[in-house]
Amino acid sequence: MVNVPPPAFDDAFRHALADLVAWRRDVRRFRKSAVDRTLVERLVELACLAPSVGNSQPWRFVTVDAPERRQAIIENFRTCNRDALAAYDGERAQLYARLKLEGLETAPVHIAALCDESTAQGHGLGQRTMPETLRYSTVTAVHTLWLAARAHGLGVGWVSILDPAGIGRTLATPPTWSFIAYLCLGWPEENHLDPELQRAGWQNRVDGNGRLIQR
Amino acid sequence: MVNVPPPAFDDAFRHALADLVAWRRDVRRFRKSAVDRTLVERLVELACLAPSVGNSQPWRFVTVDAPERRQAIIENFRTCNRDALAAYDGERAQLYARLKLEGLETAPVHIAALCDESTAQGHGLGQRTMPETLRYSTVTAVHTLWLAARAHGLGVGWVSILDPAGIGRTLATPPTWSFIAYLCLGWPEENHLDPELQRAGWQNRVDGNGRLIQR
């Protein structure tokens, strides 16, 4: 491939990209309207252009369509969420109990993202001292899908209150595939610039985290 | 915050976003020209709008400016890379030895991304069954920075052939901060649509990985 000039990204694009990053949200309230399958496939294709260690492309995307499988995922969440609630006390527990933490029952599209830890692709490059970079590569693919979905007006919610071993059993995925993320995808009921957990009084944005530390 | 309409992203933006994703590259060949500090700070600020489990915002970005620290990082890489090379045989070893795997000596900006595993932010939400989501949150921030940098014409290279414990010692970061990524940032010497590891004959893109698996 010759050394060709890349597309010129201008100020208007950079502003829109900053808006996209700011307006990406973890969405848990979905309209029931369907999402075109071709669009979902296009988003996954774009996600597969994400960076990966050694160009290993270890991501595996599984759509969960079977109602009995979706029900098993919902049960998985309920059990984990009950345990999570039990670990909080007092006001924090009351607040936790009121949080809306997933949109599993209404989201028209469910996608599980897994990481094939046994892939020969990439020939192990870059993984020797940091094998976790294989999973990190899958995370960059998930994040790419998330941003691309938002650019289409779609909302994505990442559910992590789940038992990963149970997900593997429910989806009958190979034992060498690590579960990374469970994504609910659909048209959002509402749009917000601030995170849901901030509106709910759980955790505000912390400005100081954006400070560069110098060494 | 009221329920306000988000910015309207149009087809032109979506195409440019797809170009950005396609043209993001892992860059290892940098021009020596400086990068404005204000721009780097803006990229880090945008990165801090990435999703995070429980809104925990666990990312910590450290610029590595001191020459003796940069030298220690380079030594760290050399040792790990020597060990990595020793693990390959025959033609694969010869190919590995020829690869350009980092731009540590020329990149004007070095940024280490770490994850504060002890943060109280987020109050543990979403981490009980999947504590790794704290580190995954930091990865989404790194990826946001990467895309935003590319939109400015900047190249980013993620170096993972490093001993994480050594990085912690070199940067004198708290023991509760996990090392996630070491980023070289600067103006790229050249631009390519295909990954460097593909051009070098190490690992091609694999189309089948973009297929949605149905369950």
Q: pLDDT for A82-138, tens place per residue? A: 999 999 999 999 999 999 999 999 999 999 999 999 999 999 999 999 999 999 999
Q: Is the pLDDT of residue A7 over 90?
A: no
Task: Report the distance separating Cα A160 and Cα A178, nearest Å.
Answer: 13
Identity of the residue numbered B158: W
Which residues in chain A touch residue B20, judged by CB atoms under 8 angstroms apart?
7, 9, 13, 17
Distances (CA, A) of A13 to A7, B15, B141, B211: 11, 11, 20, 29
The dihedral formed by the CA atoms of B81, B82, B84 and B86, expressed in degrees to the nearest 10:
160
ipTM over 0.90: yes
3-state secondary structure string across B14-26? HHHHHHHHHHCCE
Q: Which of A50, A49, A53 has its CA nearest to residue A124? A: A53
Q: Record the tokens describing residue B4, joined without a space.
A: 């306000």
Q: How near does any CA of chain B get to the CA of A182, in Å?
A: 12
pLDDT digits (tens, 9 = 90+) for A169-182: 999 999 999 999 99
Q: Rounded distance, CA A55 to CA B89, Å?
A: 20
Nearest CA in chain B to A213: B62
Per-residue pLDDT in tens (0 to 9) along chain B, 215 residues: 556 677 889 999 999 999 999 999 999 999 989 999 999 999 999 999 999 999 999 999 999 999 999 999 999 999 999 999 999 999 999 999 999 999 999 999 999 999 999 999 999 999 999 999 999 999 999 999 999 999 999 999 999 999 999 999 999 999 999 999 999 999 999 889 999 999 999 999 987 666 889 98
In tens, the pLDDT along B21-45 reads 999 999 999 998 999 999 999 999 9
Residue labelled with tokens 């990165």:
B47
Give contacts of B151 with chain A, Cβ < 8 Å: 9, 13-14, 17
**Rounded average pLDDT over A34-47:** 97
Of A144, A194, A215, the CB nearest to B1: A194
Task: Write the residue in B17, B64, B136 that is nearest to A148 by C-beta.
Answer: B17
* CA distance from start to end of chain B: 38
Task: Measure Cα distances from B159 to B110, B139, B167 in Å.
Answer: 10, 13, 12
**E strand or H helix that includes residue B77:** helix B67-86
Cβ–Cβ gap A152/B9 under 8 Å:
yes
Chain B residues within 8 A of A50 when measuring between CB atoms: 21, 143
What backbone torsions phi and psi does residue A200 show, to the nearest 5 degrees? Answer: -80, 0
> What is the phi/psi pair of residue A111, to 5°?
-130, 125
CA distance A189 to chain B (A): 10
CA distance B142 to B52: 12
Tell if the CB–CB gap between B125 and A55 is shorter than 8 Å.
Answer: no
Calculate how close chain B gets to A57, using CA atoms only, in Å: 7
CA distances for A10 relative to B16, B118, B151, B153, angstroms: 10, 40, 8, 10
Right CATH for A27-195 from 3.40.109.10, 3.60.15.10, 3.40.50.1000, 3.20.20.140: 3.40.109.10
Residue B211 confidence (pLDDT) = 81
**What phi, psi does B89 have (nearest 5°)?**
-120, 160
Fold (CATH) for B26-190: NADH Oxidase (3.40.109)
> Residue ranges of the domains in chain A?
27-195
For residue A196, CA distances in Å to A3, A17, B14, B149, B152 come to 44, 21, 25, 27, 30
